[in-house]
């Protein structure tokens, strides 16, 4: 049981790092996307740990769905960043609001 508590503590630390990464990355959208991925992976660790504690597979299935959505989110986000970089030459966050259409 101590090992599960360590994994939960580690997941909480990853979530906090990702949360503050989202808040502190005001200049670069790529860092913001990476911080969002860290928070999603931290929640997946929690789902898997509680799934193993309660011997229920639904947490693992939900973690698989979250990974699928996170992969799609990062794919679309990176594609938008590549297009934005082609147009503006930078991926700084304050200049993203210049694209309106």
Q: At residue 99, does pLDDT exceed 70?
A: no
For residue 27, what is the DSSP state?
Answer: S
How many domains does one find in the chain? 1
Which one is predicted more confidently, 87 or 3?
3
pLDDT in tens, 38-87: 999 999 999 999 999 999 999 999 999 999 998 998 898 888 888 888 88
Burial pattern 44-70, b for ≥16 Cβ within 10 A else e, equals bbbbbbebeeeeeeebeeebeeeeeeb
H or E stretch at 56? none
**Domain containing residue 61:** 2-98
Q: What is the CATH number of the domain that holds 84?
A: 1.10.287.3510
3-state class (DSSP) for residue 28: strand
For residue 70, what is the DSSP state?
Answer: H
Q: For the chain, what is the mean pLDDT?
A: 87
């Amino acid at each position: 049981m101590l090992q599960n508590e360590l994994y939960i503590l580690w997941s909480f630390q990853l979530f906090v790092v990702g949360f503050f990464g989202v808040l502190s990355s005001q200049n670069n959208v790529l860092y913001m996307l990476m911080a969002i991925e860290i928070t999603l992976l931290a929640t997946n660790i929690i789902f898997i740990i509680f799934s193993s504690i309660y011997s229920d597979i639904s947490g693992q299935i939900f973690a698989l769905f979250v990974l699928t959505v996170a992969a799609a989110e990062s794919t679309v986000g990176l594609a938008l960043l590549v297009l934005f970089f082609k147009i503006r030459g930078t991926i700084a966050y304050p200049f993203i609001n210049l694209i309106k259409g």
